[in-house]
Chains A and B, each alone.
Chain A
């Protein structure tokens, strides 16, 4: 084995408590994303199996529609799932930067530095995937209680099979390795790359153009393509995925703009610090609130659902479909919110550890802990409210051509939307508060030398 790569276990142990905390957080994030991905894929496979071999009228008549809806849910959740896994991979890297840059200065090659990181990140991904599979198996009885198609799924129907498990155990470490390698670019390019922080380059306007094209495309196709409904489903799903992907591209750009704007107008230290941090690292902020942004997108779509489902009439099949649409949407939303909350909690804990020296010195100089807490809270809360609301608005705009103004004829829609957003925001806020004790413990550690 290469001498530098052989150092991996020693370097990990040398990291002390920080390394143990970040490793635990990374493994948790990988585990949650693995468990939920397998759950969603299991549901999709369950619907597909029923559609292929229908046993009831609902499965025979509407089986393929359910499969398409399950695909939609998967598309809605794939970005937050990937974001969470990506955050997990990046988290350890931030703390490893200094050590790895030192290795570069000592003469380690870029390939050796990358290999060292991949060994650590892959191992975390592997452990997370295994824990995630166990979590998925534990959740199966719970998913089997959820009513769909006039009954419930059996555990066997939601089981992804040995192949699915093997794929997850292989794919998650690979994904972790790719994310980790991308995050290491700065170290690889220059050993001094992480030693100095400068004004970050702006994110390009082209991201807005991508989102605009996806939005307009979706609206045009839904408005004028009614007669080709069956053929258009795939196109619509494609545009939905593009809109979603574009939202992930535009999110950091908008947050950067928001941060700079707020920093100019800030009148208090808390507002100024929170705004500067947002402007400094909009991608990092997006990793925290992006999941909720995408959940907001789901909630926006959900807002028009009561109108869609109110026309059941006497057809029992339509009644079942309507009930399942609400159940499926709520399930998707709950999973998205949970992902967002886990993402936010883990990212905040990681931020506290990454900024421990800044926090500690600011505290020594008399900065009250309450102010540090307020900044930490505001860092999440400000972007979160805007991102969740903005994403919901985007979803409503995209779906408006489909449902016209009738979408808001029924007040249940907007109420559900507001309720979901408030609930989601509170959940994420609660998750970020879990890093509060960590901040206290970081500040309690002596940063002074016994000199």
Chain B
């Protein structure tokens, strides 16, 4: 496992054409009477970043959770590198999320009793990396994210922006295939939000992962190479961000 080589400060444009790393077809998901997804198709090419936008209740988070194997769609298919994900049982999907995906949530996702370095090292340890190697790796990731010297601080002793950078490092430490971020800047001010998005997009690209970001903020979406608009469970608009 390696650490990222980061640089630059502007929103990036990507979206290299090629075979889909993550592909979803005809996704349908209901919560009781509510239709959250009503037949959604999404393709994500290698190294591509995608922003999923839409108003509250549009189905954008449900789409992320179906793509990530957290929820199972009632109809439709999801495949990672051509391998069907929607047919896996809970244990297999849990393993897939642990080994192939990284997650960044809005807040509250760091374990409060662990210092920053152990929060980042934990996913690597869960994959079998020794504690020493996982710690070394975590220290390098934290340094790359401008958090050198804060390794021993617990989440409660970090600012919101610092904690979210730790969360991004944790999502990437295992070099996943895809990183899923649900409103990753929702709890941050604009400056910190931009910094977190810069690190998230650059670091994701540097490890060769895809990125799916759910957001309602156009400025956040601008950091991704492509964005789709979801309304009433359907993709109503799709465009490159350039």
Inter-chain contact A371/B57, CB cutoff 8 Å: no
> Is there a chain A Cβ closer than 8 Å to B60's Cβ?
yes
Which residues in window 348-369 of A have CB below 8 A to B?
A: 357-358, 361-369
Which of B2-10, B101-109, B143-151, B200-208 contacts the other chain? B101-109
Inter-chain contact A451/B109, CB cutoff 8 Å: no
Which residues in window 138-189 of B have CB below 8 A to A?
A: 154-157
Minimum CB–CB distance for B32 against chain A, Å: 8
By a CB distance below 8 angstroms, the chain B residues around A449 are 61-62
Please, which residue of chain A has its CB at the minimum distance from the CB of B216? A451
- Among all A-B residue pairs, the 6 with the closest Cβ atoms: A366-B98, A366-B97, A280-B113, A197-B156, A450-B31, A451-B61
CB within 8 A of A451: which of B57, B98, B155?
B57
> Is there a chain B Cβ closer than 8 Å to A2's Cβ?
no
Inter-chain contact B99/A366, CB cutoff 8 Å: yes
> Is there a chain A Cβ closer than 8 Å to B95's Cβ?
yes
Minimum CB–CB distance for B229 against chain A, Å: 14
> Is there a chain A Cβ closer than 8 Å to B56's Cβ?
yes
Provide the bound-state CA to CA distance between A281 and B154, in Å. Answer: 14
> Is there a chain B Cβ closer than 8 Å to A189's Cβ?
no
Inter-chain contact A364/B118, CB cutoff 8 Å: no
CB within 8 A of A365: which of B61, B103, B114, B118?
B103
| Chain A interface category by residue count | 20 to 34
> Is there a chain B Cβ closer than 8 Å to A272's Cβ?
yes
> Is there a chain B Cβ closer than 8 Å to A17's Cβ?
no
Which residues in window 69-115 of B have CB below 8 A to A?
A: 70-71, 91, 94-99, 101, 103, 105, 108-109, 111-114
Minimum CB–CB distance for A173 against chain B, Å: 33
Which residues in window 337-384 of A have CB below 8 A to B?
A: 357-358, 361-369, 371
By a CB distance below 8 angstroms, the chain A residues around B71 are 448
Over the window 302-316 of chain A, the binary record of Cβ atoms lying under 8 Å from chain B Cβ atoms (1 yes, 0 no) is 000000000000000
CB within 8 A of B95: which of A198, A277, A366?
A366
Please, which residue of chain A has its CB at the minimum distance from the CB of B55? A451
By a CB distance below 8 angstroms, the chain A residues around B242 are none
Inter-chain contact A364/B70, CB cutoff 8 Å: yes
Partner-B contacts on A (CB < 8 A): 196-199, 266-269, 272-273, 276-277, 279-281, 357-358, 361-369, 371, 446, 448-451
Determine which residue in B59, B95, B103 has the highest number of CB atoms from chain A within 10 A of its CB, and name it. Answer: B103
Inter-chain contact B108/A361, CB cutoff 8 Å: yes
Inter-chain contact A266/B70, CB cutoff 8 Å: no
> Is there a chain A Cβ closer than 8 Å to B125's Cβ?
yes
> Is there a chain A Cβ closer than 8 Å to B58's Cβ?
yes
Provide the bound-state CA to CA distance between A269 and B118, in Å. Answer: 10
Minimum CB–CB distance for A141 against chain B, Å: 47
Provide the bound-state CA to CA distance between A266 and B71, in Å. Answer: 34
> Is there a chain A Cβ closer than 8 Å to B122's Cβ?
yes
By a CB distance below 8 angstroms, the chain A residues around B111 are 273, 276, 358, 362
Inter-chain contact B113/A276, CB cutoff 8 Å: yes
Provide the bound-state CA to CA distance between A446 and B29, in Å. Answer: 14
> Is there a chain A Cβ closer than 8 Å to B126's Cβ?
yes
CB within 8 A of A367: which of B98, B114, B156?
B98
Inter-chain contact B103/A197, CB cutoff 8 Å: no
**Given A196-B156, A198-B157, A272-B118: A451 and B58 interface contact (C-beta under 8 Å):** yes
Inter-chain contact A199/B154, CB cutoff 8 Å: yes
CB within 8 A of B62: which of A197, A281, A358, A450?
A450
What are 11 A-B residue pairs whose CB atoms fall within 8 Å in the complex?
A269-B126, A272-B118, A276-B113, A361-B108, A366-B97, A368-B91, A448-B70, A449-B61, A449-B62, A450-B36, A451-B60
Inter-chain contact A197/B97, CB cutoff 8 Å: no
Provide the bound-state CA to CA distance between A364 and B57, in Å. Answer: 21
Inter-chain contact A279/B96, CB cutoff 8 Å: no
CB within 8 A of B36: which of A268, A276, A280, A451?
A451
> Is there a chain A Cβ closer than 8 Å to B190's Cβ?
no
> Is there a chain A Cβ closer than 8 Å to B130's Cβ?
yes
Minimum CB–CB distance for A31 against chain B, Å: 32
Over the window 117-134 of chain B, the binary record of Cβ atoms lying under 8 Å from chain A Cβ atoms (1 yes, 0 no) is 010001101100011000
Minimum CB–CB distance for A202 against chain B, Å: 15
By a CB distance below 8 angstroms, the chain A residues around B57 are 450-451
Provide the bound-state CA to CA distance between A304 and B111, in Å. Answer: 46
Provide the bound-state CA to CA distance between A115 and B123, in Å. Answer: 44
A199-B157, A448-B70 given; name 18 further pairs at CB < 8 Å: A198-B157, A268-B131, A269-B122, A269-B126, A272-B114, A272-B122, A276-B118, A280-B113, A281-B113, A363-B94, A365-B103, A366-B95, A366-B96, A366-B97, A366-B101, A368-B91, A368-B95, A450-B34
CB within 8 A of B103: which of A280, A357, A364, A451?
A364
By a CB distance below 8 angstroms, the chain B residues around A365 are 97-98, 101, 103, 109, 123
Which residues in window 193-228 of B have CB below 8 A to A?
A: none
Please, which residue of chain A has its CB at the minimum distance from the CB of B103? A365
Inter-chain contact A451/B97, CB cutoff 8 Å: no
Provide the bound-state CA to CA distance between A281 and B112, in Å. Answer: 11
By a CB distance below 8 angstroms, the chain A residues around B59 are 451
Provide the bound-state CA to CA distance between A266 and B98, in Å. Answer: 21
Minimum CB–CB distance for A318 against chain B, Å: 55
Provide the bound-state CA to CA distance between A450 and B70, in Å. Answer: 13
By a CB distance below 8 angstroms, the chain B residues around A368 are 91, 94-95, 98
By a CB distance below 8 angstroms, the chain B residues around A367 are 94, 98, 126
Minimum CB–CB distance for B124 against chain A, Å: 10
Inter-chain contact A371/B156, CB cutoff 8 Å: no
Minimum CB–CB distance for A79 against chain B, Å: 27
By a CB distance below 8 angstroms, the chain A residues around B58 are 451
Please, which residue of chain A has its CB at the minimum distance from the CB of B90? A369
Minimum CB–CB distance for A367 against chain B, Å: 7
Determine which residue in A357, A364, A366 has the highest number of CB atoms from chain B within 10 A of its CB, and name it. Answer: A366
By a CB distance below 8 angstroms, the chain B residues around A199 are 154, 157
